[in-house]
Amino acid sequence: MNRRFALLAPLALLLPLPAAAEKIPLAALSDYLNGLTTVETSFTQINSDGTLSTGTLYIHRPGRVRFEYDPPDRSLVIAGGQQVAIFDAKSNQPPEQYPLKRTPLNLILGQNIDLGRARMVVGHEDDGTSTRVRAQDPDAPEYGTIELVFTDNPVELRQWVITDDLGAQTTVVLGEMKKGGRFGSRLFDITAETAARGN
């Protein structure tokens, strides 16, 4: 148990229980995600092996994202042109590339997000502090799931957990979001990044 919470546990017994929070409706969450056009934020990534990475995340919906890791890590993940490219800092090879639609990230980068679509959401609950939505591609559930964590008043995306097709989990915790900025297309250009790195 977290030491801070352990210290508060005896006090909690004396306080009345709060009313159960209500989960944010899927329609409201869909509206929120569709309202995000550009986002810049810091992030902390908890990898499946327990290691931590930090960096800056850029989202330009629809279809574009860039995970820029803090030095000395030169790794990079870019989605653009319906492809996801993973640049491995330790490799001199060209980036690994996959169709964006084969990754759970596609579910939040789509043109029109509808969490109410049949068989897309496989979990929707409130844990008392946040609403958690677990979603999959209803046409290709074998590509894995993404669990989105939102807080309310106002609605804000705080983190997500991707479970890939092999069951490995990666958690991304978001910092304060800067919304509505302008990004150059170069940020999401896989071909230009590949050339710049000499891969």
Q: Among the listed ranges 18-27, 28-37, 153-162, which one has the minimum average pLDDT value? A: 18-27
pLDDT tens digits for 97-110? Answer: 989 988 888 888 98
Residue 51, SS3 per DSSP: coil
Confidence bin at 35 (pLDDT 50/70/90): very high
- The pTM of the full predicted model, rounded to 2 decimals, is 0.84
Q: What is the mean pLDDT of residues 160-165?
A: 91
**Which pLDDT value is given to residue 155?**
93
Angstrom distance (rounded) from CA 149 to CA 36: 15
Q: How far is CA 88 from the centre of its chain?
A: 20
Residue 182 backbone zone (phi > 0: left; psi -120 to 50: alpha; other: beta)? beta
- In 3D space, the residue among 31, 23, 2 whose CA is nearest the CA of residue 115 turns out to be 31
The answer to whether the CB of 9 falls within 8 A of the CB of 138 is: no
Beta-strand pair 52-60/178-179: unpaired
Confidence bin at 165 (pLDDT 50/70/90): confident
10, containing H or E segment? helix 3-12
Map out the domains of the chain as residue ranges: 21-197
CATH number for the domain formed by residue range(s) 21-197? 2.50.20.10
Cα–Cα distances (Å) from 170 to 2, 46, 49, 87, in that order, read: 21, 6, 9, 17
pLDDT tens digits for 124-156? Answer: 999 888 999 999 988 888 889 999 999 998 999
* Spatial CB neighbours of 159, under 8 Å, sequence gap ≥ 6: 148, 149, 171, 172, 173, 174
**Which pLDDT value is given to residue 128?**
86
Which token pair is 92?
């001199």
**Which pLDDT value is given to residue 21?**
60
